[in-house]
Structure 1
Amino acid sequence: MNIDWSSIFNIIVVVNAIFAIITVFREKRDIAAIWAWLLVLVFLPVAGFIAYAFLGRKLPKNRLFKLHKHVQMQLDERLKEQRAQLGHSDKTPADEVVRRSRNAVDMFMTTDSAFLSRQNKVRILTNGNDLFHRVIEDIEAAQKSIHIEFYTFYNDRIGNEILDLLVKKAQQGVEVRVIYDSWGSMGTTRKFFQPLLDAGGRAFPFLNTRSVLLDFRINFRDHRKIIVIDGKIGYTGGFNIGDQYLGRKKKFGNWRDTHIRIIGSGVFGLQARFILDWNATSPRDQIDEDEVEAKYFPVTTTKGTVNMQIVSSGPDSDLQQIKMGYIKLITMATKYCWIQSPYLIPDDSVMDALRIAAMSGVDVRIMVPNMPDHPFVYRATQYYARQLSEQGVKIYYYNNGFIHAKTMVIDDEISSVGSANLDYRSFKLNFEINAFIYDQKFSQDMRQIFINDMTVSNLQTAEMFEKQSLWLKFKQTFSRLLSPIL
């Protein structure tokens, strides 16, 4: 019997195309993601569906709904009370920045209920050794509670050092709670945290996804980085817990990142986010709403100079709050807008904002790494860097190791420091948190850090991009086609 392989092949192609269409259109997506997934599923019949299992599936609605269900109303009321207690009689330079930026402040209040916190003390930390030295000191001094939430909590030297300290504090009666992402902390299991559990502490993977084998989604990860100690000291930014963030991995070498240490009511925004995430993650071990005000939001008497809003975003909302914040800052800039991000894969709205700013005479500069950690992401970053360079944006490649900072500063007035990259994944697919800071001195310090980084970076000229090989440009263009799903 002769087998008509041609007919069989045609049938497979048709069936694959039908399944591809059904798979992509059965869930709500933007048009860019639809075309990207159709491209992958149609032209890579088997590999494409495997990739979809990791990258394409949506998080079940009942999992997302829990993020809004438990204590948000209670927290909103507590935060309003705390804000009223701060008083508004003092007028500082930061208050003047807020007055000029009132539209941005109002936008975050509307989209994320992000209250404006005044009179904070904020320290910028750009070196892993300095950061963990301060974190360890603050944890050792904790008296009531330690709340930690990270995308990556590795089972390595610094991971074990932090864990041992948490065990010690739990044995002393301090409440210790840890949220980690099972994908970002791959290799770190419940067994690693067992000493903490035995000491009375608590640790759970975000949304209780205990195994990357059973929940093999690369999307919808907890990319936030939060530490809150006694409700009084908070940390957020780009660093995770792992040896590579201390420059101990040969692959990356020097690790350049940006984190901030907050003292004041700005910590309340981090605490509120942690409590919401904890109660969504651990349904049988809820933080008691009756204890929220007294235990986790102590009245602050800090008299600093920095005003800020803590803004979170994620796939539980269609508003893309942090992306909206980035766009707002870019469009507000009249003198300069300087950005650092390890990944540069903006969507059309951010691309347009950057183009408009550059074409309006604003000094737009973007600094990205000159080394890859993910090949497709790196090539897509190069593609967008080339496109933006052609339209007047100054692109810098950082050469002193790997830059992982996620920062933006405009006009010596407003800055953003947090976990969100300038890419699709941070805008739509991951859970993120950023501090938007209204203060001239802080912004000037951020500007100086950028200037210092430029001394170990190369400005990419149009001639440099033009000299790239056709093969390199092809890889960049191909990777760009996949950018909505990277």
Structure 2
Amino acid sequence: MFDWNQFSVWFYLLFLLTAIPVGFMIVLEKRSPYKTAAWIMLLILIPILGVLFYLIFGQEYRKRKMFSIRGLKTLKSLRINSSKQLRDFENSPYNQETKAHENIIRLLLSNSNALLTSGNQLEILKDGKATFEAIFEAIEKAKHHVHLEYYIFAEDNIGNQLTDLLIKKRKQGVEVRIIVDDVGSWSLKKSFFRRLRANNIEIYPFMEVRFPRLTSRVNYRNHRKIIVIDGKTGFIGGINIADRYIRGLKKLGPWRDTHLKIVGDAATSLQIIFTADWYFVSGKKLEDKSYLPVFSEAPGTPVQICAGGPDYDWEGIAQAFFASIVNARKKVFLVTPYLMPPPALLLALKTAALSNVDVRIIIPEKSDARVSQWGSYSYVEELLEAGVKFYFYKKGFIHSKYMVVDDCLATIGTSNFDFRSFETNFETNAFVYSRDFSSQLEKHFLEDQSNSQNIILSQWRKRGWFFKLRESLAHIISPMY
């Protein structure tokens, strides 16, 4: 016969030995009250499983410097250059469009060493077809090296086409280096790595997740999508290497995404991020001028490339979003597939809308991540109440990650507007200071808006209790994503 009294004794003993010490650890980490409360609640409700969940997904490594890669000579040089640029900004030759956002530029220089580059020509790529055509064309022209860093690299039609092209270029003498996230590209077979290495292509997984190392690595993923060709041409945005970005998904329909092609000095900034990550995964340094050409400072569109992740002291991308929104005077047009903002960014959006700034947000009506969709929906009502205009994209699934602020500030990158991207993942965004570029990106936003349903507060409040319940549950756990 089962002895419930003995079971209770052992259960509470385990609780005392596990959940309570872990609870103290969480409190001592001094996270936001929202994240702390969410983890403590989980420990109380399911103490044993909650401890395991925290050990795998919840530990905070930013302050512990687990990912320190600042020994690189290139990063030391970058810090020196960024400090000098910060001092010299007042006397810089940049135009009034750039000067108007001096506070954002200074912030990114301070929190992430993001140098302001001027010699850039930019092209917005509005879908997978246009993006892969531009990528393949640029790689075909490569003379010295091709560097790729991706969250997802699939062995499907487009992935195999790209692999064949990279092998072809390697045989022509072009150096090829690839970083793939170990979790995002988990489906890659060992034969894929063997084939590339047999053709003298260097490829490394980012933070392999293998037991027992799983507990310290699984939650920190490289979500960057970077290509750098010959140090002069770069690509950044939301599109990974997979067929879905061209063909869409059966349950969701067409895949709407946004990518950015950069020719100029900002490609060198992307290269600096790649070289740091390359050093992290391989222990090899890429410091030759053929990889890192000197900035030309030629005429062109001003761009700052900001990297974010546990390897930085500050949440640089989140801070730049916050400063951009709270300083907006006319409009904030935001597109994100997942909307789970940290409290400060949620307050920034509401404050801007209440200040009579035209704040519009587009999120997908259908999502590839069910719980994330419910979490996104949980923020809709309070943002509508503040005057934010909401649009649910209906023409398939929108995976774009971009924002336009006022007349001459815009950002495109890999970061979603959620806790994970801002606080946990390794991300990269391009911040662009140009009236013409912002105008182009705004046209894409208005086209996306035309393919979306405007959400009305009075109608949204009428949804059923079941929908509200699951959204509330997703909202509670969203800080732990």
Structure 1 spans left out of the alignment, 5+ residues: none
**Given that residues 83 and 109 in structure 2 are in contact (C-alpha distance below 8 angstroms), is that contact kept between their aligned partners in structure 1?**
no
Alignment CA distance shift 1:64-1:45 (3 Å): closer
Deviation at 1:270, TM superposition (A): 0.3
TM-score by length of 1: 0.91
> Which residue number in structure 2 is paired with residue 134 of structure 1?
134
Q: CA deviation at 1:8?
A: 2.2
CA shift for structure 1 position 190: 3.9
Secondary structure of the structure 2 residue equivalent to 1:327: helix
Task: Report the alpha carbon displacement of residue 113 of structure 1 after superposing the two structures with TM.
Answer: 1.1
| Residue 80 to residue 109, structure 1, CA distance change in 2 (3 Å) | closer
Q: In the superposition, relative to structure 1, how do residues 80 and 481 fare at CA in structure 2: closer, same or farther (>3 Å)?
A: closer
Spell out, residue by residue over 1:80-135, the C-alpha distance to the aligned partner (whole angstroms, 9 max, x if none). Answer: 7998xxx99996xx721111111111111111111110131000011101100110
Question: Is residue 2:408 matched to residue 1:410?
Answer: no
Equivalences for residues 96-115 of structure 1 within 5 A:
96-115=96-115
Deviations 1:169-225 (A, max 9, x none): 112211111001010112114421222211211000114x16588536542100111
Question: Residues 65 and 46 of structure 1: is their aligned pair in 2 closer, same or farther, counting only changes over 3 Å?
Answer: closer
1:24-63 paired onto structure 2 within 5 Å: 24-26=23-25, 28=29, 29-45=31-47, 47-59=49-61
For 2:202, the equivalent position in structure 1 comes to 202
Aligned partner of 1:382 in structure 2 is 377
Paired residues of 1:163 and 1:193 also in contact (CA < 8 A):
no
AA in 2 matched with 1:412: D
1:316 counterpart SS class: coil
Contact kept in structure 2, 1:183 and 1:212, CA below 8 Å: no
Counterpart check, 1:325 vs 2:327: no
Aligned with residue 295 of structure 1, among 276, 290, 294: 290
Superposed, 1:329-368 pairs within 5 Å as 329-368=324-363
Is 2:271 the counterpart of 1:276?
Answer: no
CA distance in 2, matches of 1:127, 1:201: 28
Task: Give the C-alpha shift of residue 465 in structure 1.
Answer: 1.3
CA contact (8 A) 2:19 2:48 kept: no
In the TM superposition, what whole-angstrom CA distance separates every residue of 1:66-85 from its partner, at most 9, and x where no partner exists?
Answer: 421223445427967998xx
Aligned to 2:163: 163
Q: Distance in 1 between matches of 2:117 and 2:181?
A: 28
CA distance in 2, matches of 1:17, 1:233: 57
Match of 1:5 in 2: 4
**Mean Cα deviation higher: 248-257 or 271-280:** 248-257
Deviation at 1:338, TM superposition (A): 0.6
Q: In 1, Cα distance between the equivalents of 2:2 and 2:452? A: 61
Match of residue 18 from structure 2? 19
Match of 1:482 in 2: 477
> Structure 2: which amino acid aligns with 1:470?
W
Tell me the secondary structure at the aligned position of residue 184 of structure 1. coil
For 2:424, the equivalent position in structure 1 comes to 429
Instruction: Give the Cα–Cα distance (whole angstroms) in 2 for the partners of residues 262 and 88 of structure 1.
Output: 26
Equivalent residue letter for 1:138:
A
For 1:95, the equivalent position in structure 2 comes to: 95
Alpha carbons 1:383, 1:480 under 8 Å: kept: yes
Q: Which amino acid aligns with 2:147?
A: H
1:295-332 Cα deviation digits (max 9, x unpaired): 11235668553101000111223411000000011011
User: Which moved further from structure 2: 218-227 or 54-63?
Assistant: 54-63
Q: 1:243 is matched with which residue? A: 243
Query: 2:231 corresponds to which residue?
Result: 231
> Larger deviation: 340-349 or 5-14?
5-14
Task: Please say which of residues 454-463 and 52-61 is displaced more in the overlay.
Answer: 52-61
Residue 193 of structure 1 aligns with which residue? Answer: 193
SS in 1 for 2:235: strand
SS at match of 1:296: coil
Looking at structure 2, the residues matched to 479 and 288 of structure 1 have their Cα atoms a distance apart, in angstroms, of 43
8 Å contact kept, 1:167–1:195: no
Q: SS state of the match for residue 38, structure 1?
A: helix
Equivalent position of 2:153 in the other structure: 153
Does structure 2 retain, via aligned residues, the 8 Å contact 1:344–1:385?
Answer: no
TM-score, length-normalised on structure 2? 0.92
**SS of residue matched to 1:67:** coil
Counterpart CA distance in 1 for 2:53 and 2:67 is: 26
Cα deviation, residue 38, structure 1: 2.3
1:258 alignment partner in structure 2 = 258
Change (3 A) 1:296 1:310: same
Q: Which amino acid aligns with 1:227?
A: I
Cα distance in structure 2, aligned partners of 1:463 and 1:62: 47
Partner Cα distance (2:295, 2:81) in 1: 12
Q: Percent identity?
A: 34
1:143-165 alpha-carbon deviations (Å, 9 max, x no partner): 10111001111111111111111
- Equivalent of 1:395, from 366, 390, 402? 390
Where 1:64 maps in the other structure, the secondary structure is: coil
What one-letter code is carried by the residue in structure 2 that aligns with 1:20? A
How many positions carry a matched residue from both structures?
Answer: 475
